[in-house]
């Protein structure tokens, strides 16, 4: 057997093992997902006509009122806030990244930053 055929067989075997392991993990994930999902009982399912009806409960009404009050409060606070967008600093300011890079370059060249 030549070296080329041996190397191709080893490559094919390795790729087969990798793809086989991937497929095995994929199947395991499908099985685990199927086993661990919560299934709805038939009593909890509602017919399609019931979903079109609006059901009003005291708990739903109180949640709606709380949501409406939160929106009204947020809108009122937004109108009275004094926060303004920040302007960009002038370009003469050196960023922390630039300062670090320049310091590293100077230390590599032997400059300590002090004059003797």
CA distances from 109 to 42, 103, 106 (A): 76, 10, 5
What pLDDT is stored for residue 88 in this prediction?
74
What pLDDT is stored for residue 86 in this prediction?
77
- Check pLDDT > 60 for residue 20: yes
What pLDDT is stored for residue 102 in this prediction?
87
Q: What is the pTM of this model?
A: 0.34
Residue located via tokens 């009275």: 80
pLDDT tens-digit map of 25-64: 999 999 999 999 887 766 655 555 555 555 678 788 888 9
Q: Can you give the residue ranges of every domain in the chain?
A: 1-36
Number of residues that make up the chain: 116
> Could you give the CA distance from residue 75 to residue 93 in angstroms, rounded to a whole number?
37
pLDDT tens-digit map of 65-95: 999 999 999 888 888 877 777 777 666 677 8
């Amino acid at each position: 057997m030549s070296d080329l055929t041996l190397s191709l067989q080893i490559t094919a075997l390795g790729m087969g093992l990798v793809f086989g392991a991937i497929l095995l993990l994929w199947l395991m994930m499908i099985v685990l997902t199927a086993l661990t999902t919560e299934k709805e009982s038939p009593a909890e399912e509602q017919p399609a006509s019931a979903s079109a009806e609006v059901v009003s409960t005291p708990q739903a009404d109180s949640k709606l009122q709380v949501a409406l009050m939160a929106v009204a409060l947020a809108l009122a606070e937004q109108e009275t806030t004094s926060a303004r967008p920040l302007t960009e600093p002038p370009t003469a300011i050196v960023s922390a990244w630039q300062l670090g890079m320049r310091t590293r370059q100077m230390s590599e060249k032997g400059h300590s930053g002090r004059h003797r």
